[in-house]
Structure 1
Amino acid sequence: MSTANVLRSDGRTADELRALTIVYESLDRVDGSARFGFGPTQSLTSVSGPIEIRPNLESPSQATLDIQIRPLASVPGTDSKALATTLKSILTPALLLSHHPRTLVQIVGQALCGTGSGSGTGSVGRGWNASLIASLVNASVAALMNATSVPMKGIVCAVAVGLVRSASGGVLVLDPSESELAHLTGGGCFAFLFSATLPSTPTDSTDIPPCSLLWTNYTSTSPFDERELSDARTLAEKGAREVWKALKESVGRMEAPLKASDDRKASTVEDIHAASRDTDIHEEDDVKMEV
């Protein structure tokens, strides 16, 4: 399939992602939270745990992973619950849940966009578009990185790929936008695990760890074409590497507020010690005056 530099409706080339957004939200009562977006296709995820779990749900060998997905509007329906199960199968290989047996790790994802195309509105039978699924996967990983309470063996990065058919054939496009969904005749989400524990290949970059495909739901209205799937995977892997780089760069922004907070704490401690020393000096002066 072609991935030529064809300009799309928003001015992007076929292999170009929309602007990536990664924000660590610092939500209350959770251990980590993050917002991730491809352009306006955004989602928010929080992580709590490891925390206590009811005895009837605990596992003696590993932490129990519970994922809940909430649509933009209405209550979670069948599609939301199915997506939660999918995200659990995607994230489990990246987590070292055996380090915290008999506990609970809870991830709650919230769609921050939604249209009639089924992208997070919660409408039964409409599904969730591939770009929003990818956003939820990446937001979950960013929230886990923010929490630092659940050990990870690697980073999962996800992107969407769509197929636009034309009279001359078909063009694969990376990260299709909402306006492009109606023109797609195929597409899906691809999730990759990046980990230094994976075997490397001669084509792997030295500054990016090896990756392997964890999951995809790529489908097409035409009969199965192995070459189409292979080309879509290649394009998706290129986009996933860009997501990995963005997540890596975001860690520095996440640590900056923490360092500032530590500096403020250190300054406060020094002030307390200084005040204590001043108090001791005054007390010694009082004793001398009494003598």
Structure 2
Amino acid sequence: LRELSIGYEGLDRVDGSARFGFGWSFTGSAAALSSISGPIEVRLAAENPSQATFEVLLRPLSNVPGTESKALASTIRNLLTPSIILTQNPRTLVQLVVQALIPAEKFYSPLVASIINASTLALMNAGSIPMRGIVCAVSVGRFRSNIMPTSSLILDPSDDELSSLQGIGCFAFLFGTGQTGGSEVVWSNWQSSISFSEEELIKARDLARGGAEKVWIGMKQSVGRVG
């Protein structure tokens, strides 16, 4: 797992904000910036009498959000929802805005992992939304070894390694507060150009779980430094 880059931006007119990237800096690597506003007033059409409305807006570095951005925003909303308690603030809005910090034609797995982690950090930084857990994500790649006939799995592949991969996916885990052993998968998008077995997918998931636990620890330490 590459070194984690975590920063709290203190953006104006939001309740919490954070940057996250894999690598020693926020430039030249998969990185994202997220902000949280809420609970705030919600428009009448989106009002929910039993809980807060959770809205996610995802913006690429350039151009306007397209179909892929909107689809990923919906995915992020669904995978983060189990980690937050929305019933304490009915008839309000919780708005998450995420900005990719690198130009990318597609939201590839390492960038998706950074987007998820930045979103979690912004929620933690805000402190205004009750949370029942922490969602952390990492990517796992698969490339063919020149020596061994079987494929090899790699945790958190770098940009330079992406072209050598035959398979890649992002895995997101929900960690309960105060513990690391009880994580559960809340989302994954494993894809491969060649067939893969269930056993290999389990190995990729287990490798990702170990990496996500390190991200979880890094998040806790970053909050302690801010506090």
Q: TM-score, normalised by structure 1?
A: 0.73
Partner of 1:110: 99
Q: Is the 8 A contact 1:130 1:189 kept in 2?
A: yes
TM superposition outliers: structure 1 runs of 4+ over 3 Å: none
Partner of 2:195: 223
Q: Is the 8 A contact 1:146 1:254 kept in 2?
A: no
Which residue identity does 2:165 align to in structure 1? Answer: L
Which residue identity does 1:33 align to in structure 2? Answer: S
Which is strand-richer, 1 or 2?
2
Q: State the distance in 2 between where 1:49 and 1:178 align.
A: 35
Pairwise CA distance, 1:95? 0.7
1:27-176 correspondence runs (5 A)? 27-39=11-23, 40-115=29-104, 118=105, 127-167=106-146, 168=148, 169-176=150-157
Secondary structure of 2:43 counterpart: coil
Secondary structure of 1:248 counterpart: helix
Pairwise CA distance, 1:208? 2.6
Q: State the distance in 2 between where 1:159 and 1:207 align.
A: 18
Pairwise CA distance, 1:245? 0.5
Instruction: Show CA shifts across 1:140-167 (max 9, x none).
Output: 1100000000000000000000000134
Q: Which has the larger radius of gyration?
A: 1
Q: Which piece of structure 1 moves more, 222-231 or 134-143?
A: 222-231
Q: State the distance in 1 between where 2:157 and 2:71 align.
A: 22
Pairwise CA distance, 1:207? 5.6
Q: State the distance in 1 between where 2:110 and 2:69 align.
A: 15
Partner of 1:251: 223
Q: State the distance in 1 between where 2:58 and 2:159 align.
A: 20
Pairwise CA distance, 1:252? 1.3
Secondary structure of 1:34 counterpart: strand
Q: State the distance in 1 between where 2:89 and 2:52 align.
A: 5
Q: TM-score, normalised by structure 2?
A: 0.94
Pairwise CA distance, 1:182? 1.2
Partner of 1:269: none
Give 5+ residue unaligned stretches, structure 1: 1-16, 119-126, 197-205, 256-291
Q: State the distance in 2 between where 1:208 and 1:166 align.
A: 32
Q: 1:156 to 1:207 in 2, by over 3 A?
A: closer
Partner of 1:266: none
Q: 1:148 to 1:208 in 2, by over 3 A?
A: same
Partner of 2:163: 182
Partner of 1:242: 214
Q: State the distance in 2 between where 1:41 and 1:135 align.
A: 6
Q: Is the 8 A contact 1:36 1:42 kept in 2?
A: yes
Which is helix-richer, 1 or 2?
1
* Seq. identity, %: 55
Q: State the distance in 2 between where 1:46 and 1:209 align.
A: 29
Pairwise CA distance, 1:254? 1.6
